Amino acid sequence: MTGLSIIESLKPEDRKKIWVVIPPEVMGEILVQLHVEVARGLIEITEQKDLIKAVESLESDDIIDLLHVIPEPLCSKVLESIGVQERKRLESALSYGDDTAGGLMSLDVLTVQASQSLDEVLQDLRKRGSMPKATDNLFVVDQLDLFQGVLPISVLLTHDPLLMVSESMDPSIDGIPYQMSAEEVALLFEHRDMLSAPVVAENGRLLGRITVDDIVDVIRSQTDHSFMSMAGLKEEQDMFSPVIVSAKRRAVWLGINLLTAFLASWVIGLFEATLEQIVALAVLMPIVASMGGIAGSQTLTLVIRGLALRQISRINAVQLFKNELSVGAVNGVLWSFVVASIGGIWFQSVGIGLILGGAVIINLICAAFAGASIPLILQKMNIDPALAGGVLLTTVTDVIGFMAFLGLATLFLL
């Protein structure tokens, strides 16, 4: 375990005991790496002057991250304590959305001019005495700060110092527009194996720089988000939140799911007369619902991931539906045969077997259709498919499962 996991794996009370002995200069570095919820808990018990020291010890992109976590009015007070010029830069950076390129970027950028020689650049660097973290490229700008390309550090180190920046730079690199979503920036970094990238305004002016360490956090929280959302949890959820806090949050999810469960019960209730006559149906009906739920959640998971990785578009959506419906049909036929045989033998009834098999086919095909269409529709409506998809899917597979099985039985067995 690293130091950070140790802090997160402690109970809130024990965390606080450790926190008070940590020097303020180190606090900032720790806070930006903790889950939001854990960080908030610690910020609450930090003295204002220590918090200011903690913030001041950070680089600007980390300061911005941390300011997003500090509640008002504390956040404004911390901002006030920072020097005027730095504050202006931070305030403009804070105005970008947290999950956009603008929100991710750092303001610590090393720029050079195309008219300099490599040797001049080297001398400037030596005068500066330090470089921002993860500097693999220097950014080439003109007098108006318009972004023109990059000068890789590797070129600077390995090429003849008498060369000009204009001869050595790579003008083919584009700046990332500041409005680009964090997810898309992450995919760009992944596909191009980048360590840092320039962020530009609409007019091409260089605004800042995104570094790969922040992208790693985006990727972690992005996939974490889908995983946790499927169970109605938030990715910043703290394993050791106070019981009442956890219970309250999860109660909401249980309540939403209870509506689904009651809807399914209501469907079963419609067939009470049928169940009274053939009790075997009550024994077998969960099988139909459960098979539909499992098959549907496979399609749902695949489509949610495809959407997150931007692999699903208008062009291939039709193909996706065809594929999933075919898979549903193939498995429907296969498993309905198995289920029908077992059910028929168990209750010594060909009729029950046939109806069970028929209901499984129907539900598996509907499950495939629901699993593929629900996330696409939710995405269109700007609702998170990972959060709402599972509940909706279960509603569909439960309702259709019970209705198909008990409905077929009412039609053919009574």
Residues 140-179 that bind a copy of itself (CB under 8 A): 153-154, 156-160
Which tokens go with 256?
């939403």
CB under 8 A: which stretch of 18-26, 72-80, 169-177, 286-294 binds a copy of itself? 286-294
- Which member of 290, 337, 376, 377 binds a copy of itself (CB under 8 A)? 290
> What type of residue is 371?
G
Residue 140 to residue 175: CA distance in whole angstroms: 11
Site for a copy of itself in 198-217 (CB under 8 A): 212-213, 215-217
- Which member of 20, 26, 294, 345 binds a copy of itself (CB under 8 A)? 294
**Contact flag: residue 413 with a copy of itself (CB under 8 A):** no
CA distance readout (Å), 57 to 15, 31, 61, 99, 226:
22, 12, 12, 24, 33
Based on the number of CB atoms within 10 Å of its own CB, is 233 exposed (0-12), middle (13-18) or buried (19 or more)? Answer: middle
- Residue 37 near residue 237, CB atoms below 8 Å: yes
Site for a copy of itself in 7-46 (CB under 8 A): 8-11, 33
Residue 388 to residue 21: CA distance in whole angstroms: 43
**Contact flag: residue 76 with a copy of itself (CB under 8 A):** no
Contacts for 22-26 with beta carbons within 8 Å, 24 or more apart? 24/49, 24/50, 24/51, 24/53, 24/54, 24/57, 25/53, 25/54, 25/57, 26/57
- Which member of 44, 47, 170, 276 binds a copy of itself (CB under 8 A)? 276
Site for a copy of itself in 80-99 (CB under 8 A): none
Beta bridge partners of 100: 181
CB under 8 A: which stretch of 66-74, 76-84, 170-178, 267-275 binds a copy of itself? 267-275
**Contact flag: residue 373 with a copy of itself (CB under 8 A):** no
Site for a copy of itself in 305-344 (CB under 8 A): 305-306, 309-313, 315-316, 319-320, 323, 326-327, 330-331, 334-335, 338-339, 342
Tell how far CA 305 is from the center of its chain.
10
User: What character string, x for contact with a copy of itself (CB under 8 A) and - otherwise, covers 225-244?
Assistant: -xxx-xxxx---x-xx--xx
